[in-house]
Structure 1
Amino acid sequence: METPMQHHQSKLFINNMMESAIRIGLLFILVVWTFDIIKPFVIPVLWGAIIAVALMPMTQKLERALKGRRGLAATILALAGIILLIAPFWMVSSSLFDGVSHAVEVLQSGDVDIPGPTQKVADIPLIGDKLFEVWALFANNLEKAMLHFLPQIKAGVSAAAGMLGSSLGSLVMFIVSLAIAGGFMAHAEKCSAAVSTVAVRVVGSHGEEWTSLTAATIRSVLLGVVGVAFIQSLLIGSALFTFSIPAAGLFTIIVFILGIAQLPPLIVVLPLIFYVFSTHDSTPATIFTVWVIVAGLSDSFLKPMLMGRGVDVPMPVILIGAIGGMITAGIIGLFLGAVILAIWYELFMTWLNTEESSTPLPQASNDEPVDSPEK
């Protein structure tokens, strides 16, 4: 039979359990509401932090040139980044708008003259015959070709409109992120101290070390991914402009985006090679082919040179983290994935070193003589 003391303890346990459950439930509701409130700002703030970390060395150099005015240096870099974002987008958008307007005017006037394909097109392996047939259909009977390919044309126009809308949204997001990055860079010491304090509080003595590792990893990924993509787009773009390829600027931007997304630029380059062979002589077409293929494969030796610089983490760990993070979380995953894998690598190495240091030394057996120190 339950004694009064046991009954009191049981009742007290139930009351404490109910009170704890209510507190945890209220805390969970508060956390969910807080996340819903800050959710629209999570990605811009993350990008702002990444951009601030990446541009901090440049900010410090500009600060010294401006005699210690950190706020002005951060503002100049943020505005320069915004201009560099808006200018290409404006140029591409204007070019697309002018091209679409001209196409609509030509179609309305009915004065459409598409040159027919040459025999070089039909000689292209695998796709030559089909490409020759489709091209000849558009050249000889445009109305019939438009009706035949109307579903594909509608799908392409819808995809292009969706891509344009998504690009506009991304542009606005990056402009906000650059403004946030400017604030982070202007108050870098306070932000760094706050992050280090939180990191030490959460993970202990290694927190400050891992904070520095995070910053170095972000700069490494920026140099090894975005830097390589920029170099590739510059090399391929110079070839496109040299050989007067139509919409060379647009193709250059696409190559840059593919490079950031860790996709081979040959996706864009190979169709252009077929186009150059069908419209140019063999010698310039061969030069163009060698030029763009070498530029497209240049990441195979540029990434090992640039990826992982300044970080005591093997380059394959950074690269796997960047690619896996991008597949999981998009472009921002390039940085988050690399940072997470770098921290896990450091955790693993710390654990290994701890295990080695805690391994007891072998003891001498009783049968072996023990040398006593000389007095």
Structure 2
Amino acid sequence: MSQAPVTELNDRARDIFRLVVENYLANGQPVGSKTLAGGNTGLNLSPASIRSVLQELQDAGLLAAPHTSAGRMPTDVGLRLFVDGMMQVAEPSRAERAAIARGLAAGPAGGGTIEAALAATSAALSDLSACAGLVMVPRREPRLAQLSFVALTRTRALAVLVAEDGQIENRVIELPEGFASTALEQAGNYLSRRLAGRTLAEATGAIRAEISSGRSALDDASRNLVERGLAVWSEDAARRPVLIVRGQANLLDDTAARDIERVRQLLDELENAESIAGVLDAAREAEATRIFIGSENRLFSLSGSSVIASPWRDGEGRIVGVVGVVGPTRLNYARVVPMVDFTAQSLSKLIGKDGFSRT
């Protein structure tokens, strides 16, 4: 069903639609005609007249009746209409800005690392929004010191990568039957000499160019092992999202008991870091904060959740990461959207000032 533009709704329909959405976002409950007819809504309409408009809005695909009751709630299409055409955003309060600033203070300015600032900022954003906070970090590109191979069995070896900062990672690789132990040592020495002081990406291009041109002194077995070693590290780095998720417990609010299956589904979805990184990647090239509502995003469509995300930049204006939140579709968009945007801007200022030091 196509979405009706705001301009196609008459004043009465627009006022009733806005009130339904605002009431629903405030308490998470379907809104009925009696609720809208009473109180200080300013409608001055009978419940019967309101019910007629509610039905028209439902027929237009903007509202839905989740149960047999007369209460209505906005659909994903209706929420999109409200967010794009009717929502009045509110700037973050002084207290909210201060909480985000305290998270940023965990970074270089306070003697910590950028990662510490990102984790603390994500936690603060999560607490303020009552959602789960998300930060996608630039992929780690350490300067390398050594790569060695250690035989485990006749057909398996452990590739050990040591960075200049002392961090160590290892991966198991498969070897052809009858692989000579001398090839392990030769391949390790060859890689260590060419990796030292370089990032993996820098070293990989130089090594493969040297091998393909025939300038390397490696025999066939050692050359094969070098290729295997480079492949396992390069493929791993390319697909491994660097993601910080904080505040999943905030999703278990007072209304979670009424919709426990949706919350359980969302918590399961948050375990898939690679898929979440794919969602945030969609916001990387945005000039402003992106909002994905419910079924608009395939990953969170089953749980009926929304994602608000904004890119942050380094000192040269390049997008290096994304910060955001994920929560129920009934979250307070008018408050959370500018909060996420403020956080992204603050991160950009921090990175622009201090660079992306990871020591």
The alignment's TM-score, normalised by the length of structure 2, stands at 0.28
Higher helix share: 1
Higher strand share: 2
Q: Which has the larger radius of gyration?
A: 1
The alignment's TM-score, normalised by the length of structure 1, stands at 0.27
